[in-house]
Amino acid sequence: MNRRILRYALVFCLLISSAFAAWAWFRPYAWCPDPAARSHIIETLVTKDQSFFWVTVHLKVNPGLSHDLEKPVRLETASSKNLEPADTTFGGSDQQGTTDIWVKFWLESKDLNRHLTLRINDGELLVKSNDGIPNVDNLDYRNFTTNQW
């Protein structure tokens, strides 16, 4: 009788952990991205460089829409500082057009301490919603798949 109970308990724990892993894998970066931005954030890569940080935002262009190259892309900090990208990379094909955009910003520690908002096309996307500098001390970089970092 004890083995049967143990077996059911292990199967139950396996199902719960599998459900959590699936939820963590498939959850979006942000639940309600601004449709005026014409894209949504897939992930953000934060790389420490001395006392500064490189923040690379990977965007996926929404199906059927295109990125307007004439409109500026800016990263707004909590202190209302607007930063221009240090580098922008586009990905896609001739048939589909631009499907992915990587925008890279150079930030000081104080700029990364509070929330960050990306202004793109006619919308805005929340890159970082929590306070505090992310812990990347022992790593060269850290990848975030949700805006709560």
Residue 23 tokens, joined: 């939820």
Full residue range of the structural domain in which residue 139 is found: 35-144
37-74: pLDDT as tens digits: 999 999 999 998 888 899 999 999 999 898 998 999 99
Q: Is residue 4 part of a domain?
A: no
Residue 115 forms part of a structural domain: yes
Residue type, 21: A
Q: Is residue 88 part of a domain?
A: yes
Q: What are phi and psi of 69, to 5 degrees?
A: -70, -20
pLDDT band at residue 94 using 50, 70 and 90 as cut-offs:
confident
- The SS3 assignment for 42 reads strand
- The number of distinct structural domains making up the chain is 1
Q: Which residues pair with 82 in a beta bridge?
A: 76
Residue 19 belongs to a domain: no
Summarised one tens digit per residue, pLDDT across range 107-127 is 998 888 899 999 999 999 999
89: in domain: yes
Q: What's the pTM value of the predicted model, to 2 decimals?
A: 0.82
- Give the model's pLDDT for residue 131: 86
Q: Is residue 104 part of a domain?
A: yes
For 30, 48, 55, 65, the CA distances from 109, given in Å and listed in that order, are 23, 10, 11, 35
In a domain, 2, yes or no: no
CATH of the domain at 82: 2.60.40
**DSSP track, 50-84:** TTEEEEEEEEEEPTT----TTS--EEEETT--EE-
